[in-house]
Structure 1
């Protein structure tokens, strides 16, 4: 069965079509050229025939000899290429078949007959009527014969070209194709090089194909080795994965968990939420703040990075909070499916320790409010965010006498009481700080003196409550001296801001000696340049 899609058939068809186009074009060209040449040749023959009888016609016209004229004219019409002819002079006229030629609408060719002794003088004219029907038939016959010769020659050339092409190109390529089709990739089978093609393009193609088969066999061998190694490593990985102490899951994009280890199940059991197939997108059902967690992870995934963060898990138990360090990375399979690898490290113990250390570092152990270290952090944070605030530095008057007379326990009792009054009297967004010893500080969300005065008056009213130590009938009262500076109006430098408030506080302490009600001083009442503050 002929394969119409095969290279041999298509090439043969192309060759035949191309040959036919060339032959048709060439035949048409040669037909027209031959036809025109035949017409020209007939005209030249007519002229040569006339030249043959021109001398006889010249003498016949000169002598007015009708017999010579008849001989000349009859000599012309003897050829098949001339249908009729006539000679005409003043004293002589002879014609043959002219009526027939005129009936066929044949145009005549006129030849001037010259004087036999004076060539410049015309003595008669000869009208020759060409036999166009005969001439055209002869021209067409010759042209057709030439075309048939071209067709026969093209046919022979085409057949020879097809045979040569088949045995030199098509047949070897078909054998190469059959051999390649029978080869199993990865085996030692190779394509034999066709005869007489060791240095041809086909031989080069077979050589390159065999080289490619060598590489394929080598890659197959390596792949089998790698597959064995992967299977071995997969077993080891599964063993490590299932026995890992860190909770790990592999989940699909829709939230379905594809793999999980025992550590993950143990972590879920701690939350008492129950083991199930999925916990929503990115395990969101396990977390107290799932939206914040997922937003942070997706933002990191968008940068093609792995995400990490610390989040609190939901728990039906109120005994202790469970905190985990979440490490998540997106995975894309060769099929284009997206997965997520999530690792959850239980950091509850470390979190509790950090919270304790943070309390110790930033909060006063006696009063429970921020200490100086924590206060400086808050001031710096407010400055970074460019929040306006008032800094009120407070010093207790009469506190040293309490320590000296009633002891340090009584002094601690006063400090705790003052801290409670500060927390109770200030507003929700304000912060109380134990600055050191008997000094306190208030960070007030205010940028005008009137707002600050109202808060300080409430605090002062609470602090001035009397104390009775050791059943003493005489009450002990402590009071405050307060210096206030504003950020950024007073200064944009933290140390200068604190120093200016300290100066104002000591100014208030001096004023209180003369006037007990004058316990509050704003920095603008004792203005100093920042350049003078060390």
Structure 2
């Protein structure tokens, strides 16, 4: 099928059109030139014919010989280029086909017949009537024949030019194009240089194209190597990302999660939310205090810093609270899209351990109630909040004898029992503390002695229950000596308040034998001058 858009077809059309234009112009020029030359040659031939018979006509006019005149005129008319002729003198006249020429409106050519011996004398004149029809037909025939020859020559030259152009230019270019179309970019395939074109423009084009293919192959090789390296790194990254023990998420600014690993899914399954596509902006749906978390992160992002903090996740099981260390980093792509990388480290175990350590630091391991450290924290907290309370310091009477007679296990049993009585007998808002050894303390929500007396009497009744150790039939009874100080009435200083209660407790302890019912003494600042002032 002919490709009308192809270079060969378009070049052929151009060559044919150019050839036709040149041939037409040349043929027209040669036609006119040949025609004019034939007319001119015909006139010259008429003159030559006359020169041939001119001597005969001159003698005929001199001798007034009619036969010689006829011979001269007949000789002229024999030519195809002369239609008629006549000779005329004073004594002689002869014509042939003159009437026919006059009827054809042909103007004669006049030649003067001179004296054969005296050329200056004119004896007669000869009128020659050219056969213009024959001359024109002959000129047109020759001109047309020449034009046809030019057309034929142009066709031959054009055909030869087309063949030469096809085999020298178009065919090699087509072969180059087919070779280029069959080449797979990035391979070692190259275009062969056509014969006889190693130094031509086509050869230069093939060379430049092969150089380009060399560069393409190099780039493909480099790109293939880079792709293999990227695929290798991507597999390594995906393996590390998916198998990481730390929950990691890559999310868009609108909250859409682009990447998540299995550790994140495992962490979310522990919450009451469950696995789903998104969890709101910056995963705020997962946290118990999303406002606090988001505010901290946005403040860090505003400073162009990564954000970190410890937050509690929502969970249906309150006993197993989930705490995470959140690390968030803002990311900006080359296209200007904003992403966030969020890493959630499960620190629940550490938080639980810290809580246990806190309990161990603030609670007594034997009795389970607050220890002295925890008690001091509670007293300081109540003072900061300016709550009124009564501080009752308790010392057990007879406890040393239990340790000495029955051993420390029995003593521990007594301490546990006393702590249970304290917790059981005091009110809901009151607090029991093991102050140290066999000393206890009560923080009572009371600001008058009557209220304190009621609570302490109730506790004392429970503590005085008899113990029987090692199947001993004799009961062992412990009692309490109690000193009470009020905050802020007695003192607004913690150490002074405790010291005043301690002094009152030792005052009560002195009554354990002489006045056992007077086991409770209220501290009085003016009464106990001990150097501690408000």
Could you state the TM-score of these two structures normalised by the residue count of structure 1? 0.49
Larger radius of gyration, structure 1 or 2?
Answer: 2
Could you state the TM-score of these two structures normalised by the residue count of structure 2? 0.49
